[in-house]
Amino acid sequence: MNGKWYELENEKINWTFYPDSLIITADPYDKVEWRATDSKIEFDYPTFYWDSLAKPVDVVDKIVIEYKLSRKKDTLIGTLTNRNGKYDFGLIRIE
Which domains are delineated in the chain? Answer: 3-93 (2.40.128)
| Residue 61: predicted pLDDT | 93
| Residue 28: predicted pLDDT | 54
| Residue 85: predicted pLDDT | 97
Please tell me the pTM assigned to this model.
0.83
| Consecutive 10-residue averages of pLDDT for the chain (95 residues) | 92 90 76 92 91 94 96 96 96 91
Strand order in the sheet with 40-50: 31-32, 22-24, 14-17, 3-7, 85-93, 75-82, 56-69, 40-50, 34-36
